Amino acid sequence: MSVRKLRLAVIKKFGVIVSIGQCRRPKKYAIELVEGNLKDHYAKLWAYSQEILRTNLVSTIELEVDHMPDRKSYFSKFYVCFDGRDENDKIFPIAWAVTSIENNKNWKWFLDLLIDDLHLNLGNGYSLMSDQHKVRGQQWGNQICPEIRERINELKKHMRHFEVLASGLNQFEVRGTTEAFEVDLDRRTCSCRLWKLNGYGCVHSTTCISYLNWDVEAYVDVMFSTITYMKSYKYRIVVMNGNDMWPQTNYIPPLPLISRRIPGRPVTKRKKGALEKLTSHKVSKVGKKIRCSICKAPGHNKATWPTKGPNDVNTRKKKIDV
């Protein structure tokens, strides 16, 4: 509930007129009683890190603090990474980080840790794992993943626009209205090169396989099979206890970030969304009569006063020398 709605609720229920400030202060106090203040949350970061490492041994935790001359430690960066891979052609979060500011230095810090943890120098893809996806894979059986099957079915809808001409053993020429492509089923290639990119084929390869009355799913890469999918979820992310059961540490609890002033004048205007129209909100002056600030006559302003205004120069204010 916003502060304004809280004020209206207090006035309606108790019949007492209160100000916005009188509602804002008790609301802040009530939130701190229930959820704790910001300082308490930051103080639990070391215990939170140890709890993750206790329940998920393969995880990587990085917590960096800034030590000040007054022997106080302030939060700087926090990094968490889980190991996993998804073969249903889906992208899941595998790592996240919280930093004091988003800049090139912190981005490099995050990417360096991610490359080391996931060995990304070979380009292997990883994703977050969960028991829910594991059960889903068991229900699919020994077949390809449903997401890939839906894409293949979508390709089959466009087969009628192509003609297949056999040119050799499992080699075909697929002609469209204005274009033609070479398909080799043994090498699993198509001259459009899409089959090599996605691993499950293109509309040209799907047309050739269906032309032979063969199973299109048999030509899908093993990476998209449910067997590979189940191997991805062989390990799981172990659940954690509540913060009252987290292990205690001897580290100095970090304090919240030091508030800093952003360079430049503070922005007071609301940032508009991408779909909002960029209007200037200027009021049109069409039909409005202007008035001269010198002679007070309508129809002209002081910029055009000598030509359109009265000839009496005594109406202009002059500086009198004393």
- Read out DSSP for 80-114? EE------SS-----EEEEESS-SHHHHHHHHHHH
- Are 159 and 215 in a shared domain? yes
Phi, psi at 174, each rounded to 5°: -105, 120
- Are 65 and 7 in a shared domain? no
Quick one: CA torsion of 134, 137, 139, 144, rounded to 10 degrees? 180
- Are 101 and 156 in a shared domain? no
Q: How many CB atoms lie within 10 A of CB 234?
A: 9
Last residue of a domain, one of 213, 245, 277: 245
Indicate if the pLDDT at residue 126 is higher than 60. Answer: no
Q: 49, exposed or middle or buried, with CB in 10 Å at 0-12, 13-18, 19+?
A: buried
- Are 48 and 18 in a shared domain? no
pLDDT tens digits, residue range 257-311? 877 777 888 777 777 777 666 666 666 777 778 888 888 888 888 888 776 544 4
Quote the number of domains for the chain. 3
Is position 70 within any domain? yes
Q: 79, exposed or middle or buried, with CB in 10 Å at 0-12, 13-18, 19+?
A: buried
209 CB contacts (<8 Å, ≥6 apart)?
Answer: 185, 201, 215, 216, 219
The pLDDT assigned to 93 comes to: 54
Residue 300 identity: H
Quick one: CA torsion of 104, 105, 111, 115, rounded to 10 degrees? 140
Is position 137 within any domain? no
**Of the candidate ranges 123-132, 203-212, 215-224, the one whose mean pLDDT is the lowest:** 123-132
5 CB contacts (<8 Å, ≥6 apart)?
Answer: none
Q: In which band, very low, low, confident or very high, does the pLDDT at 223 lie, cut at 50, 70 and 90?
A: confident
Indicate if the pLDDT at residue 129 is higher than 50. Answer: no
Indicate if the pLDDT at residue 230 is higher than 70. Answer: yes
Is position 257 within any domain? no
Quick one: CA torsion of 139, 145, 151, 152, rounded to 10 degrees? -100
Contact yes or no for 115/121 (Cβ under 8 A): yes
Cα separation, 114 vs 112, in Å, equals: 5
> In three state form, how does the secondary structure of 178-209 look?
CCEEEEECCCCEECCCHHHHHCCCCHHHHHHH
Is position 125 within any domain? yes
- Are 161 and 180 in a shared domain? yes
State the DSSP string of 124-151. Answer: -------HHHHHHHHHH-SSB-HHHHHH
Q: Which helix H or strand E contains 67, and what residues bound it?
A: strand 60-67
Indicate if the pLDDT at residue 168 is higher than 80. Answer: yes
Residue range(s) defining the domain that contains residue 102: 42-130+239-245
The percentage of the chain sitting over the pLDDT mark of 70, rounded to a whole number, equals 79
